[in-house]
Structure 1
Amino acid sequence: MDYNIDTKGQTQSSQPGIEGIMDPAPIIIRENYRGSGKLQGKSALITGGDSGIGRAVAVHFAREGADVAIVYLEEDQDAEETKAMVEAEGKMCLLIPGDIRDEAFCKEAVTRVISEFGKLNVLVNNAAEQHPKEDVREITAEQLNNTFATNIYSFFYFTQAALPHLQEGDTIINTTSVTAYHGSPALLDYSSTKGAIVAYTRSLAVSLADKKIRVNAVAPGPIWTPLIPATFDSEKVEKFGKDTPLKRPGQPAEVAPSYVFLACEDASYMSGQVLHPNGGQIVNG
């Protein structure tokens, strides 16, 4: 399959961005991806599941047999499209809009999943925000608080709410980033949260080992999602991903199988680990 695209230097005016107006649209799942029941009978909650990587994870999970709940901020049209894609796989999709920086909302979201599906087997902490600043002195306290609240505090909130419902063999998967490993001078606060997610994943994995609940992470490189045109100017979007060894941005369809692997029994002896779909960047982590 040809994953090379022309990003056309397009931009969007606000985060987290709208997938429905992207051109070209991100590739969500390969036509030849064949599900084999790896998640049959499971239910999953995915934050940021309306678009991009989250949407791809939702559709792949559904093709593998899981019912899916997706949490998102306010992108209703994108969320409805994701729901349609999940339901086309013959599975249920619960839409839960709200602000994951709010601990009470995170608790209520988990409660709704349990009420709708009767169980929760896979928690995917995926949603994030980023706001480039060339100088650390430009990062306001408000931006710093919002970035940390979205990118790492919410992981704690959802884990705390989900844990009473998770059983032996269930899993938590966290989305970190290649920036946690090689840094990003214009994304200091974002990169810091992604480094925190790596430490959180490793520590939580050890903490939950006795319960036989596995905790792992995925560290994507430059992936073509709505967050990109909603974050960067046209010049950076035009060059996005071309500095990787593979000389192109990745697609959500190339990332989601990592989540399937970590969520299913294929990864039964893996916990505290990070997978790196990043276009060939060597990170030694």
Structure 2
Amino acid sequence: MGTIHRSGVHRKTNDSARLIVVTIFGVAFGFFVGISFPAATFTKTEFKRSKSLETLGSGSNVTNIYVPTNPRGAELLPPGIVVAESDFNLRRLWGEPSEDIKKKPKRNNINTAVKKFSDDFQILLFHYDGRTSEWDQFEWSKSAIHVSVMRQTKWWYAKRFLHPDIVGAYEYIFIWDEDLGVEHFNGEKYIELVKKHGLEISQPGLEPDNGLTWQMTKRRGDREVHKDTEEKPGWCSNPHLPPCAAFVEIMAPVFSREAWRCVWHMIQNDLVHGWGLDFALRRCVEPAHEKIGVVDSQWIIHQVIPSLGSQL
């Protein structure tokens, strides 16, 4: 199974900690800011899916859901979707079992991204090609946390290694893919805007000409943040519901500590690629159309570089 390494680096002992997790080809990596991890225990359990993410993400009214018997932080979720424990069962990727991952990790791309965050951020790398030592060429890697499990994706890692109690010291959690251009992004300025506009779940705006799927995540050049959009006719039954509002994509989401506690409980143990999760995130904040948004003035480019090749 995976191993985790912690380096004894100085961290601020205040309540402004942030965690950024980024998934890259061969490696998933993230940034944490703050104090040391509290203890947590993971328990192996058998799990049967009782409610799909597609159903959870549908247009039903979320305001009527409040279950005080759910785990803390997951009161807004229907009981059937809550997965309060994580197993360590490996999840096979789609496609033939091939030669693992063919392309080399985009190390320079990740190195550039790391430098967009201040020294207050702790870095976490998830290695799913087993090549942990190859990152030693970067000085920041020596004080990073490294976790290695072969051929698993970022949501598999998130369920097993980012339990809300473990990351409870961190104010914000970034869970990002590897193929993001960050020339126009600054981590500290991003946090300032998220706080200013009261966003519990967010993402940077996407450059319109690169890898854009939804109008909601398209960068707007005339504002700091937007929380809604117009889509193709018939796509939005309600202007306050996805994909016209209360919606970000799974390539570069940012969660507050409170929102992540809920989202973690919604992630199924057998979730691999995370498709459908983006439509269901709104279940974890209320009112979602006001607390989920896109930060336009700190924007990124989705480079659309496949990490797992034919296995996707």
| Band the TM-score falls in, shorter-chain normalisation | 0.3 to 0.5
**Higher relative contact order, structure no. (Cα contacts within 8 Å, ≥ 6 residues apart):** 2
Task: Give the TM-score taking structure 1 as reference length.
Answer: 0.32
**Structure with the bigger percentage of helix:** 1
Task: Give the TM-score taking structure 2 as reference length.
Answer: 0.30
**Structure with the bigger percentage of strand:** 2
Find the structure with the greater CA-based Rg. 2
